[in-house]
Amino acid sequence: MKLVSTAGKAPASTLADAVLRGLAPDGGLYVPDSLTPLAPEAVRALRRHGFPDVALAVARHLLSEDLAPDALERLVVSAFDFPVPVVPLGPRTFVLELFHGPTLAFKDFGARFMARLLAALHVSQDRPLTVLVATSGDTGSAVGHAFLGVPHTRVVILYPEGKVSPTQERQFSTLGGNVEAIAVQGAFDDCQRLAKAALADAELSGSLRLTSANSINVGRLVAQIVYYFFAWADLPDPDREVIVSVPSGNFGNLTAGLMAKRMGLPVTAFIAATNANDVVPAYLQSGRFRPRPSAATISSAMDVGNPSNVARMQALYDGDLDRLRRDVTGSAHGDDDTRTCIAEVERRFGYIMDPHSAVGYLGLQGALAERPNAIGVCLATAHPAKFREIVEPVIGRAVPMPERLAAVLTRQPSVRRIPVDLEKLKAVLKG
């Protein structure tokens, strides 16, 4: 896989280099130089296969130049060792449950794949590696968990103080070992900006081997392409028009879906579903991308005001907004509608959704209403127990608590606090 920078001023890179660097040297994000489509027969052949088979077929297509066949197979099988159910809710709606990994959110896919990719590419052997990650809640624990106990590797998690759910905070601040949590006195966008600034800092890169595990790291996106193919292949009637709705914040997940489409995924359209932080739906409508400070919502992992993957979406479409609009429709939903949706889905189907997944569900219902012949998939990105503080009052009953989450809640957290200040972060990283 050859990668180029969205800023256009860095040399083309191998996957190993791009994963290790995180950010391209010109400050841009790495995107695949080209994505070769799978043959239509190869896509059809994925139908009704289990997740590991589909993941392996797609990963082979993408990464055969980067990894030996046996290493690739080991990586895929061990990274994705949890179930990925497609649950029907009514005749035209299917929920792709991406929250059965160890930290109960879809971020486990990218984090586990990336951790193993770094190990397989032997990039953390000589100098210790510091993995810096800004989190709006779920990335921190997924990355921390994926790298926990990995030799010669230190994970530093930046999160906005008071703006993640208490359960999420517990999950990433109780890992201990080689995983440190830092509460930043600001918003997620401040954390993301600090992480990018640290990666671009010449002094730091001279003294530390630093990489990012955010969705600015292309290694995570590659892992997310596979489940779009799986969802399609598992539908009872995939020859119908298929729409996919993606609850979005930083837009890494949706970008992976667009890459899958470029690789021949037979999906007609994607819904970019957001909460009140609707800069991307507004961009699709007006043609102007106007980042702004994020507002706090109940789907806090999507409270992003300056989504970094917009640069990748633009690069994938050569900056042609009309082409992008043909593949992606924006759909924004406030907290009241999200709560109503959680209550209604529980009442009608007995199915409990977390607030992020509910935003995706709302986006899909709007699109299905406009396309009477289509069926749709919405991505469920987190287990409802991670957001039980919000979900339980809405549905009026307890959310069943998975055992691995209950265990985390009894451990002692360990957190350092810093203001939004690069020098303070650098001191922590060097210390």
- The residues binding ligand PLP (CB under 6 A) are 105, 107, 137-138, 215, 247-253, 301-302, 356, 381-382
Given a contact cutoff of 8 angstroms between Cβ atoms, the answer to whether 263 and 226 are in contact is no
| Distance separating alpha carbons of residues 85 and 223, to the nearest angstrom | 17
- Which lies closer to ligand PLP via its Cβ, residue 124 or residue 299? 299
> What's the min distance (Å) between Cβ of 357 and ligand PLP?
7
Given a contact cutoff of 8 angstroms between Cβ atoms, the answer to whether 244 and 261 are in contact is no
> What's the min distance (Å) between Cβ of 258 and ligand PLP?
12
> What's the min distance (Å) between Cβ of 246 and ligand PLP?
7
- Which lies closer to ligand PLP via its Cβ, residue 238 or residue 252? 252
- Which lies closer to ligand PLP via its Cβ, residue 193 or residue 209? 193
- Which lies closer to ligand PLP via its Cβ, residue 153 or residue 248? 248
Give the number of other CB atoms < 10 A from CB of residue 271. 28
Q: How many residues does the chain have?
A: 431
> What's the min distance (Å) between Cβ of 2 and ligand PLP?
23
Alpha helices in 184-302 (DSSP H): 188-200, 202-207, 218-234, 252-262, 279-286
**At 100, which amino acid appears?**
H
Comparing CA positions, the residue from 144, 134, 335, 163 lying closest to residue 250 is: 134
Biggest CA pair distance of the chain? 59
> What's the min distance (Å) between Cβ of 151 and ligand PLP?
28
| Distance separating alpha carbons of residues 301 and 137, to the nearest angstrom | 6
Given a contact cutoff of 8 angstroms between Cβ atoms, the answer to whether 223 and 257 are in contact is no
> What's the min distance (Å) between Cβ of 354 and ligand PLP?
7
Given a contact cutoff of 8 angstroms between Cβ atoms, the answer to whether 21 and 13 are in contact is yes
- Measured in whole angstroms, how far is the alpha carbon of residue 283 from the centre of its chain? 21
- Which lies closer to ligand PLP via its Cβ, residue 71 or residue 82? 82
> What's the min distance (Å) between Cβ of 416 and ligand PLP?
23
- Which lies closer to ligand PLP via its Cβ, residue 258 or residue 267? 258
- Which lies closer to ligand PLP via its Cβ, residue 145 or residue 209? 145
Q: What are phi and psi of 104, to 5 degrees?
A: 65, 30
